[in-house]
Amino acid sequence: MHYEVQHNTASDGWINGWLYDEGDGVLRPETFASAEEAGAALDEHLQDLEEEFRAGSAVRRYGRDEFRVQHVPDTATQPHHHQGEQP
């Protein structure tokens, strides 16, 4: 099973905007092995965003309700990369 952090956008609805590059120039969606792992990554991300806001480098605050952890089916196009794991 894979999980991803999704952000609710005005134009596209819920999307996974977390991408990574393995050095080959191809951007792949970030996925996690468990909902707990994805939730912890989201908590860290929101903390970073809050620090940026307080430092004046972000123009607004982001709320947790703008994000969600979502199960995604394991498909042939889904990368088999998990945070902290080498492919």
pLDDT band at 19 (very low <50, low <70, confident <90, very high): very high
Q: Return the pLDDT at 70.
A: 97
Q: What is the pLDDT of residues 20-67, one digit of tens each?
A: 999 999 999 999 999 999 999 999 999 999 999 999 999 999 999 999
Q: Return the pLDDT at 1.
A: 78
* Tokens 């492919």 -> residue: 87
DSSP 8-state secondary structure symbol assigned to residue 6 = E
pLDDT band at 75 (very low <50, low <70, confident <90, very high): low
| Domains of the chain by residue range | 2-72
Q: Which residue has the higher pLDDT, 81 or 56?
A: 56
Task: Read off the pTM.
Answer: 0.76
CB 10 within 8 A of CB 80: no
Quote helix, strand, coil % in the chain, to nearest 5: 30, 30, 45
